[in-house]
Amino acid sequence: MTTETLASPRRDGVVIGLVGCAHFFSHFFQLALASMFPVLQPDLGVTYTQLGLLMTVFYTVSGTLQAFAGIVVDRYGGNRLILFGVSTMAIATGAMAFADSYWTLMALIVVSAIGNSIFHPADLSILSLKVSKQRLGRGYSVHQLSGTLGYATSPAIGLSIAVAYDWRTALMVLAALGLIAVVILTLAQPMLDTRERRPATTAAGEASSFFQLFGNTAIFLGFGYFLFTAGAGKAMDTLGIAAFDQIYHEPVQTLAFGVTAYLLGGAAGIIAGGILADRTERHDRVAVTGLIIAACLIAPVATGMVPFALTLVLCAATGFAAGATGPSRDLLIRAAAPKGATGKVFGLVYCGLDAGSALSPFLFGMFLDAKMPGAIFLGMAVLYTLAITTAIAVSRRGRVEPATA
């Protein structure tokens, strides 16, 4: 079946769904190992700082390669790259189940990071080139939603299996689920092919335009926005369960619902944000408002005095407020992208996401080792506040010429 055999709304829906599937497993595998930290830590005899360093290495490698993955995406398309990404992360996760040392996990986390590096430039380039403009906001919404659901699902499934059996069995099951997605994406390759939509460019021209993008102020500020919001989100994703454990001393599978509430709240916010993004031109106001609310809601959790039931509500509401900003954010970035450079632009800006994700687990892991779990949630509030200043700065730069990619 080709794209020409589908009516435009249905074609858009299929493309969005397939890209969402790939993005789901990107995030699913990012937390596959991290969600095992509470049960893995005593087994391997390592500190949370060491475990946080695993995630720092993951996001450092992924972010570094992601910037250059955008060049490959713009030249060759993203359909084969997302297949490579899911395959690599699934295989690396399965291999982690057999790791017998910390350094084996470190090597495998690097392999997984290589697979992860291609998703944002590939996914968002495919959406920008294949989805109709009137549904693009919702396309970005589903893209972000699928990633959030991947984050939410991985700890819930992984920890349930780890508690019932062990963390090694859990990782093998998670890897097997990813291989099912590989089969689906292999069959769907023609639907995601963007060769007919990409402008003809030379390799030299692409490299030149890539380095010219470093001088684009809007892209630089977008990098900062991603840096701060990713740092906040990753603090919850990777260390939230361990922080709740030090505060509430409940069973670990119960505490996992705190992270799940945040992520599912984020998923609901993304859906609402996608609808809003297609109905407003003031995407900067959406971003600022959502971040202000998120910072105010998560701060009380830092006191350690909020009952866990109320913490679940605050986490869900924080996730909703932060998630609602995502589709508007991606539309702002797309508007700053020169024609034919969507892969490179998203690759560069999303490096901020990986940079924030790399620093956050390592830095906040030290607070957990120091028995200061409240610092996780106070830090989230501070990072959301810093992101507000970035969003305001972007709006003050004025509008850039819209891209037509």
Q: Does the pLDDT at position 7 exceed 70?
A: no
Q: What is the pLDDT of residue 100?
A: 86
- Dist CA 308 CA 261 (whole Å): 12
Determine the Cα angle at 100 with ends 94 and 102, to 5°. 95
Q: Does the pLDDT at position 3 exceed 70?
A: no
CA 10 to chain centre: 26
Radius of gyration of the chain (CA): 20
Neighbours of 317 (CB within 10 A): 20
Q: What is the pLDDT of residue 389?
A: 81
Q: What is the pLDDT of residue 276?
A: 79
Q: What is the pLDDT of residue 403?
A: 40
- What average pLDDT score do residues 134-143 get? 78
Q: Cβ-count burial of 320 within 10 angstroms (0-12 exposed, 13-18 middle, 19+ buried)? A: buried
DSSP secondary structure letter of residue 124: H
> Which phi and psi angles does 99 have, rounded to 5°?
-70, 135
DSSP secondary structure letter of residue 332: H
Arithmetic mean of pLDDT over the chain: 81
Q: Cβ-count burial of 313 within 10 angstroms (0-12 exposed, 13-18 middle, 19+ buried)? A: middle
- What average pLDDT score do residues 141-161 get? 84
Domains of the chain in start order, with CATH, are: 7-190+198-396 (1.20.1250.20)
Contacts of 39 (CB under 8 A, 6+ apart): 159, 162, 163, 166, 167, 252
pLDDT for 216-249, tens place per residue? 666 777 788 888 988 998 899 888 988 998 998 8
Contact 112, 58 (CB under 8 A): yes
Percent of the chain at pLDDT > 70 equals 84
Q: Does the pLDDT at position 4 exceed 50?
A: no
Contact 366, 50 (CB under 8 A): no
Q: Which of 56-60, 104-108, 307-311, 355-359 has the lowest mean pLDDT?
A: 355-359
pLDDT higher at 338 or 241: 241
CA 326 to chain centre: 11
- What average pLDDT score do residues 13-29 get? 91
pLDDT for 344-398, tens place per residue? 666 677 778 778 877 888 888 889 888 999 999 999 999 999 988 877 766 555 4
Q: What is the pLDDT of residue 198?
A: 52
> Which phi and psi angles does 397 have, rounded to 5°?
-70, -15
Q: What is the pLDDT of residue 394?
A: 60
Which residue matches tokens 């006191």?
303
- What average pLDDT score do residues 44-72 get? 83
Q: What is the pLDDT of residue 216?
A: 64
- Dist CA 322 CA 325 (whole Å): 6
Buried-exposed string 62-82: b where 16+ CB fall within 10 A, e elsewhere:
bbbbbbbbbbbbbeebbbbbb
Structure token digits, residue 183: 């089969």
- Dist CA 378 CA 239 (whole Å): 13
Torsion angle defined by CA atoms of residues 350, 355, 360 and 361, in that order, rounded to the nearest 10 degrees: 100
Contact 228, 387 (CB under 8 A): yes
pLDDT for 85-125, tens place per residue? 999 999 999 999 999 889 999 999 999 999 999 887 888 77
pLDDT higher at 279 or 90: 90
Q: What is the pLDDT of residue 318?
A: 95
